[in-house]
Amino acid sequence: MAKDISYTQGQERFRYRAAAVIIEEEALCVISSPSEDYFYSVGGAVRFGETSEEAVRREVFEETGQRYEIEKLAFVHENLFSNSTGILKGLECHEICFYYLMKPHGKQFDYQHNQEQVYWIPLTDLENYKVFPKEITHILKHLQIGIQHIISKKESGTEIGHSLEFDFVVPPPHS
C-alpha cells in the first residue's frame, strides 16, 4: 500500500490532503473526534501515486461509508499553523488541501469511523460552530464563482496572514 504524502521532521509537519464539501438537505457534513474541540471536513492525506480526486473519493468512503461523485474542484487551501492541543500539539504544520464539491445524494446519513463521527451542521448555523477551515461560510457562498484559493498563516494560534482569491471560470459557449 502506498504511503501518505505527509512527513514530520523534528517539530515541522507537512501534509498533502484532499477533502470533500458534502451538502445534503441544506447541511454540511463534517467530522470530529474525541481528541479535538472542533469540526473538520471529510478527507485525509493523498497517498503517493494517487491523484487528489482518487484520494477524496477513497477518504469519503472510508469516513462516511458512502460513495460520492465529484462535482468540481471548489478551492485550494494553503494552511500554515501551529497547534497547542490534540495530536498536532507542538508542531508547526504546513498543509496543502484540495477541496472538492461532491454531488449530493439527497439525504443525510450517520456514520462512525474509528474515533471519528459524522455530524451535519445546518448551513444557517455554521457561524455558531468551530469548523475548519474557518473561512467555510464565506467559501460556501461563492462555490459557483470558480476555484477559490485560500491562504491561512498562523503562529501560536494568532493569525498573521490571510487571503482569499478567486479564479473565475468562464463556461464554454452553448452549442
Burial 64-94 (b: 16+ CB within 10 A, else e): bebebebeebbbbbebbbbbeeeebeeebbe
> In the chain, how many domains are there?
1
pLDDT reported for residue 166: 53
pLDDT reported for residue 108: 87
pLDDT reported for residue 170: 46
Residue for grid cell 450517520: 110
Distance between CA atoms of residues 110 and 121, nearest Å: 13
Tens-level pLDDT at each residue, the chain (175 residues): 789 999 999 999 999 999 999 999 999 999 998 888 899 999 999 999 999 999 999 999 999 999 999 999 999 999 998 876 677 888 999 999 999 999 999 888 888 877 889 999 999 999 999 999 988 988 999 888 889 999 998 765 555 555 555 555 545 555 4
pLDDT reported for residue 97: 98
> Residue 88 maps to which CATH number?
3.90.79.10
Give CA angle at 51 (47, 54), nearest 5°: 90
Cell numbers found for residue 144: 459557483
Residue 3 resides in a domain? no
Residue 95 resides in a domain? yes
Stated pTM of the model? 0.86
Q: Which domain holds residue 122?
A: 8-168
